[in-house]
């Protein structure tokens, strides 16, 4: 009996803001969190990059210790992505 199960790849869709008019991005297949991080690695080049998180089905790049963030895109099955959960918006205190 063959017990190998074919795993369906997860899908990542890059976030394009609504004010930009272009063709919707094609979904990209990935099987592991490491593969996903290779897809979104472009966000790591920005100054003050900290880490990636997930919020529901969104993958987010976090900058400046959590005070800045951007949505990289969405995934079809967020439960299969091993990233920390987003802690929410942070505000700087007034000096």
27-52 pLDDT, tens digit each: 999 999 999 999 999 888 888 999 99
Q: Provide the domain count of the chain.
A: 1
> Residue 4: inside a domain, yes or no?
no
> Residue 25: inside a domain, yes or no?
no
Contact between 73 and 13 under an 8 Å Cβ cutoff? The reply is yes
For residue 54, the model assigns a pLDDT of 97
Q: Are strands 10-14 and 68-75 parallel, antiparallel or unpaired?
A: antiparallel
> Residue 41: inside a domain, yes or no?
yes
- The tokens describing 72, both together, are 């990289």
| Residue among 39, 49, 34, 42 nearest 74 (CA) | 39
| Residue among 7, 22, 29 nearest 76 (CA) | 29
| pLDDT over threshold 50, residue 66 | yes
Both ends of the chain: CA-CA distance in Å?
Answer: 68
For residue 5, the model assigns a pLDDT of 53
Q: Is the pTM of this model over 0.85?
A: no
Name the residue range of residue 58's domain: 10-18+31-80
Return the percent helix, strand and coil in the chain, to nearest 5: 20, 30, 50
């Amino acid at each position: 009996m063959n017990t190998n199960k074919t795993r369906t790849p997860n899908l990542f869709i890059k976030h394009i803001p609504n004010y930009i008019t272009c063709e919707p991005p094609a979904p990209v297949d990935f099987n592991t969190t490491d593969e996903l991080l290779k897809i979104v690695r472009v966000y790591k080049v920005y100054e003050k990059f900290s880490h990636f998180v997930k919020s529901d089905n969104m993958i987010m790049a976090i900058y400046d210790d959590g005070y800045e963030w951007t949505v990289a895109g969405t995934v079809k099955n967020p439960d299969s992505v091993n990233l920390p959960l987003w802690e929410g918006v942070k505000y700087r205190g007034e000096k």
